[in-house]
Structure 1
């Protein structure tokens, strides 16, 4: 058993590189390594491997060798997974990956429900044709099971490792890592988790763990999806606008890039600057414009996920909408800690500058009521207390998996006349703060999502 504490055994690179492989690591050092297949959990997507993918690539794994098996992560998909209906799709997916790279096996990583799907797959013995085909377990050289299925032996007798939060007393096989002061999602995305994964796959500690600046320009691609079904958005168009970091308003008359995602939602790649913030504007026939904002990109990534949905989605139907206030969803692939006994709590400072209404004071949206197990926080003016910030939980959202809601009044206008500022201080450590400014869009005609990084770095 290995017990890790955050900040232990961290190493990083200094400076940038025009290549995705970090300085100090030979380019293509792991070019012959087996491809990696990641299987996310309930309410999940490829976003849970975005940071880890950057770390793998920085250590020499070719980016094209990192794959995600994405599926319906909502109620219907969970039922399908529990009923074993994802076994054949996963088998065919892994077969496609092995054929693409001309190899016989892959490394498999499962998180949460994805460990159940993976374990069922590895333990099964089905064949898809009357002809002899490889047994599912024979296609996997090693299995990383993250905070999910438990078993005293590795499924399918495939070499395995379990990674769990430090409060767990269960395991997967006999080789397990427990990470203190981390919760269910963070144990999949953290640097400590990456160290354990890498050491298991490659037999040594990674040379690079910290995510550092790659260069002045990076390649960015991803998917626009209807969430949680993880299906492509019909009739969607995507425009990427450079914005003023201080105000969040657009700096150009035309976007940096426009594109039409394919039927599965895939878009890109597009070259973006690492010294510039961007607005990702998603428009679709079944929804009001959806604006996405995030910190500056620091490395190439193929795993950006823009999670959206139609106007009649449960999220929008349960959001208090209006012409005079904004509604925002903030997310991070790392739990928000609002009342943790041993780790530092997160702080998200929110303020609004609006010439027409007046400025709103800074408030911290991460209250003890947020708890320690949410990923997405819905923030808007509660209909019960209009134009007041109470920081009380909003209705509906606290009852949804990995979500909550907080009452914050952010005055808005159409068109926007001011700026909303959100400053994240992760685990109370101001040296790693992330600040995002964006226009005060009126919630009646706009959706806004803020995707904070799940990794810490000094800007």
Structure 2
């Protein structure tokens, strides 16, 4: 692996990032296209977009994408139902960039990618027609040199450092051996040692104690500006305040005025309601994420008491989801937490509880869940989830239903983004999840009647 220059995110790093930027600080901002990672959706960019808006980037210049089939194939060269190859993912991004350029009249876009989204971006810029349509690229937690590089271990996966896909992406470009496509400005953001997909040990790929032949610096690229975000987990390399600050500095040459979402007086929410695909080999347990509309699903939104999760009256919004998957628009009240109740054939009636929304968003994506066979003995099921990061028992202050040790979360490392509690009683009661100051309270619901609850963190 090439030696790659790294910057710790300090004052010196900020100065160097400023020197790297050539973008005007005028109000004419180019469009930004956000590409999510493996199995994810546009919704993960919600807080990042709020931060851009809060610093003056126009809302109509920010485009977060939903790739319909976001999961990579197990082997890139072998077709697999419900999954996409690197070529298919690149074709999706190519069409979306062309759509954004046409809609905005801009000559170039900025691309931000998390994890697998970085593979798609690099492929598009290097092997598609992206080099002439992209000015800047920011990659967070991109497995640029693979997640593993082990002989005989799924070598043609998109995430293998030995795959022909990764090898050609990293082939030296020019006499200095750069791994980046010239003519575009590149920033990579990585953790120091806390990214589950950039680990020397195979614990997170199912081979604990065995070497992956990958280092902590796998996301860095020779020729790019490479910044290290201390203690960041895999998703925080894109979605954290520190990641936003480094990105803004790189793009504009100055520090952002704020890394928080400044509140709006009028909040309008919308998004897409999607489901899970089922494995053809084991439909009972093999489900996989997709971003396909769950047409016909019924959604009801309720304002709830922040302390108890109890509904404050009847539904404030109802909709039957159509073929486009949109469940809004819905005008929310500032400072009010909400419950999103989803009913759809083949799914549990899912009650999603969220903390108050500070700003409008059109990527509040929702997804009902299923009660898995392993949970069929539970009287009530509650999942506490953090979509934009992971739970770290050594780093974070967190509690779930009064427990500081979250079920399923290991005592060391940032590798789990959700925790599940199975209750032995179906008596309805309040249940709370807390994470570094954010608190979400909902109600338990009887699993025996086909219900489950989800407490979803925003930050």
The residue that corresponds to 1:4 in the other structure is: 9
- The corresponding residue for 1:189 is 239
What is the TM-score of this pair, normalised by structure 1? 0.73
Number of aligned residue pairs: 367
* CA shift for structure 1 position 180: 0.4
CA distance in structure 2 between the partners assigned to 1:91 and 1:77 by the alignment: 23
SS across alignment from 2:270:
strand
Moved more, 268-277 or 106-115: 268-277
Segment drifting more, 77-86 vs 289-298: 77-86
In 1, the alpha carbon distance for the partners of 2:404 and 2:225 equals 44
Once residues 229 and 39 of structure 1 are traced to their aligned partners in structure 2, the CA distance between those partners, rounded to angstroms, is: 15
Match of 1:320 among 375, 390, 397: 375
Which of 237, 240, 244 aligns to 2:305? It is 244
* Structure 1 residue corresponding to 2:111, chosen from 105, 108, 111: 108
Residue 55 (structure 1) shift = 0.3
Is the 8 Å Cα contact of residues 337 and 366 (structure 1) preserved in structure 2? Answer: no
* Alpha-carbon distance between aligned partners in 2 of 1:111 and 1:161, rounded to the nearest angstrom: 12
C-alpha distance in structure 1 between counterparts of 2:74 and 2:350, whole Å: 25
Question: Aligned pair 1:412/2:426, yes or no?
Answer: yes
Q: For residue 271 of structure 2, give the secondary structure of its aligned residue in structure 1.
A: strand
Aligned counterparts, 1:322-401, within 5 A: 322=377, 324-338=379-393, 340=394, 344-351=395-402, 364-365=405-406, 369=410, 371-381=412-422
Q: How far has the Cα of 1:411 moved from its partner? A: 2.8
Query: In 1, Cα distance between the equivalents of 2:240 and 2:139?
Result: 15
| Cα pair 2:275 2:367 within 8 Å, conserved | yes
- Which residue, out of 113, 119, 124, partners 1:121? 124
1:5/1:300 Cα in 2 relative to 1: closer, same or farther (>3 Å)?
farther
Deviations 1:32-52 (A, max 9, x none): 211111111112211221111
Over aligned residues, Cα RMSD in angstroms? 2.6
1:97 and 2:100 aligned: yes
Structure 2 stretches lacking a partner, 5+ long:
1-5, 15-24, 77-82, 146-169, 171-177, 194-215, 277-288
Deviation at 1:84, TM superposition (A): 1.7
The residue correspondences of 1:30-429 to structure 2 (distance < 5 A) are 31-71=27-67, 72-74=69-71, 76=73, 79=76, 81-125=84-128, 135-148=129-142, 149=144, 151=170, 152-155=178-181, 157-167=183-193, 168-170=216-218, 171-172=220-221, 173-215=223-265, 217-227=266-276, 228-252=289-313, 254-309=314-369, 311=370, 316-322=371-377, 324-338=379-393, 340=394, 344-351=395-402, 364-365=405-406, 369=410, 371-381=412-422, 409=423, 411-413=425-427, 416=428, 418-422=429-433, 424-426=434-436
CA distance in 2 between partners of 1:238 and 1:177 (Å)? 42
Cα distance in 2 between the residues matched to 1:63 and 1:335: 28
Cα distance in 2 for residues equivalent to 1:34 and 1:223: 26
Runs of 4+ in 1 over 4 A off after TM superposition: 75-82
**Is residue 411–residue 440 contact of structure 1 (8 Å, CA) maintained in 2?**
no
297-306 or 88-97, which moves further after superposition? Answer: 297-306
Whose strand proportion is higher, 1 or 2? 1
CA separation of 1:50 and 1:121: change in aligned 2, threshold 3 A: same
Per the alignment, do residues 213 and 77 of structure 1 end up closer, same or farther by CA in structure 2, a change over 3 Å counting?
Answer: farther
Partner of 1:129: none
Residue segments in structure 1 that go unaligned for 5+ positions in a row: 10-28, 126-134, 352-361, 382-408, 427-432, 455-459
Shift in Å, 1:434 = 2.4
Q: Distance in 2 between matches of 1:60 and 1:121?
A: 28
Summarize the Cα distance change of 1:44–1:239 in structure 2 as closer, same or farther, 3 Å threshold: same
Matching residue of 1:446: 451
- Residue 174 to residue 251, structure 1, CA distance change in 2 (3 Å): closer
TM-score (normalizing by structure 2): 0.73
Whole-Å separation in 2 of the counterparts to 1:348 and 1:370: 14
- Deviation, 1:223, is 1.5
CA distance in 2, matches of 1:78, 1:54: 36
